[in-house]
Amino acid sequence: MSFRYVDYPQEMRELMERIFHEDFMQAHTRFQSFEGFRYSSAVFVNWNAEQLIYNEEALDNFVRESTRFASWDEMVCTATDLYFRASGERSVADMEE
């Protein structure tokens, strides 16, 4: 059982709200909003904590069952790339090239 520990400062919370906007969530998940996703996944992740601590396998299984993605990482990367491409800003993938 593998747990992930991720700092979750206010800036990260705001970024997650931006990348997981309603259009993205409705197109790629069974949720209307990121708020609905957080509510349904609260058994796996305390989204109100200063640090996210979650079982990677359990969250990935939840993502697989309720989205078009195979893992939480894939969902985050896809949302980030789509958001930054649409906004004209450079994404992390673009910066690595």
pLDDT per residue as tens digits for the range 34-81: 999 999 999 889 999 999 999 999 999 999 999 999 999 999 999 999
Phi, psi at residue 10, to the nearest 5°?
Answer: -55, -40
Q: How far apart are CA 34 and CA 28, in angstroms?
A: 11
Instruction: Let me know: does 70 contact 77? Beta carbons within 8 Å.
Output: no
Q: Over range 28-36, report the average pLDDT.
A: 97
User: For a pLDDT cut of 90, what percent of the chain falls above it?
Assistant: 84
Q: Give residue 95's pLDDT band: very low, low, confident or very high (50, 70, 90).
A: very low
Q: How far apart are CA 4 and CA 76, in angstroms?
A: 15
For residue 10, pLDDT beyond 90? yes
Instruction: Let me know: does 58 contact 44? Beta carbons within 8 Å.
Output: yes
The secondary element (H helix, E strand) that includes residue 5 is strand 3-7
> Whole-prediction pTM value?
0.85
